[in-house]
Structure 1
Amino acid sequence: MSETDTNAAEENGPQLRVVTQYIKDLSFESPNAPHSLTQQSGPPQISVHVDVGVRKLAESDYEVDLKLNVDAKSEDKQLFLVELVYSGIFRLANIPQESLQPVLLIECPRQIFPFARRIVADVVRDGGFPPLMIDPIDFSGLYRQQMAQAQAEASAQETPDA
C-alpha cells in the first residue's frame, strides 16, 4: 500500500479530534470550614454523580459536557461540595449515524475525564483536604444505563394509565 493509499484510508475512516477543552463551570464549597478541616472522626462519605451532555455546534462539531458533582460528608456534616462542568469541542468525521451517539456519550467523555479528575483533585487539595482521586468511570455502562432509562420512560409514556 502506498503512502497515498494510507492517507486516503485515514481520511475516509472514522475520525475524532479534540478541538479544545475547558472548564465551563466550577464551584467549591466548604461550608463548615475551618472546623471541617480539623475535626474529622473518620474517613468521609464521598458520593460522585456523573452526567454527560451533548450539544451540536456545527455540521461536524459537538460540545460534550462532563458534569461531576462530588459531595463529601462526615457524620452528616458537609465537608465539601465540588461541582464541575468540564467541556470539550469534538470534531467528528466519517462516523456512521448509528455510532454517533455512542461516540459522543462514551468516547468523548472518556478522553476528557482525566483532565476533569485532576481539576477536582486540585480544587479539593486547595480547599484544605487531601486530594480526591475519582475512580475511573465506566462511560459505556453509564450510556447503557441512560439508554435503558430513556426506553423505560418512553414505554411509560406510551402505556395509557388504567
Structure 2
Amino acid sequence: MATAQPPAPETPAQQFSIQKIYLRDVSFENPNAPHVYSGTTWEPKMDLGIESSNRKVKEEQYEVVLKVTIEAKIEDKTAYLIEVHQAGIFMARGFDEAGLGPLLGSFCPNILYPYAREAVTSLATNGGFPQLLIEPINFDALYAQSQEQGQAPTTANA
C-alpha cells in the first residue's frame, strides 16, 4: 500500500537576510567655523529630514538607502549640515509585491536607522559640537503615510 505524499507547496517560504550594511555617502559642512564656536549660547534650531529609497540589484536582492539630513542653525546661520546615506543589501525571497513594499519601505530602513544615527552623531561630535541625540522614528507610520499619498519612497521632515 502506497502512502500519500503531501502536495508540494506552490509558493516558496519567505526568506529574508541582511547581505551587507555600508555607508554610501556622507557629508559634513561647518560653513561658519570658527565663529560658530564663540559668542552665542548653543541653542540651535534643528531640521531633520529622512528619506528612504530602494532598488532591485539582482534577483531577490535589493539595495535600500536611508538618507538622513540634519541642519543646525543659530540665529539664521548654519552651524552645521550633515547628510548621511546609510545603505544595505537585503535578500528577500518568496515575497509578493504586497509583502515586498513594507519590507523594503519600513522594515529595512528600521534596520539601517541605528547605523545612520550613529554616523550623524559621530560627525556632529567630531565637528566640535555637543552630543546630538536623535529620537527613534516610526518607519511603519512613515511607510503607511507615503502609501496614502501615493509616494514610493518614505520621506519625513521633523
* TM-score bin (small chain): 0.7 to 0.9
Kindly report which structure 2 residues correspond to 1:1-162, keeping only aligned pairs within 5 A, or say none: 13-150=13-150
- Please give the TM-score of this superposition, normalised by the length of structure 2: 0.84
Task: Give the AA of the match of 2:20.
Answer: T
- Runs of 4+ aligned structure 1 residues displaced above 6 Å come to none
Per residue, is there more strand in 1 or in 2?
2
Stretches of structure 1 lacking an aligned partner (at least 5 in a row): 1-11, 152-162
Please state whether the residue corresponding to 2:124 is helix, strand or coil. Answer: helix
* Count of residues in correspondence between the two structures: 140
Stretches of structure 2 lacking an aligned partner (at least 5 in a row): 1-11, 152-158
- Please give the TM-score of this superposition, normalised by the length of structure 1: 0.82
- TM-superposed CA distance for 1:104, in Å, is 0.3
- TM-superposed CA distance for 1:42, in Å, is 4.1
- TM-superposed CA distance for 1:131, in Å, is 2.2
- TM-superposed CA distance for 1:96, in Å, is 3.0
Task: Give the AA of the match of 2:25.
Answer: D
- TM-superposed CA distance for 1:17, in Å, is 0.9
CA RMSD of aligned residues (A): 1.4
Task: Give the AA of the match of 1:134.
Answer: I
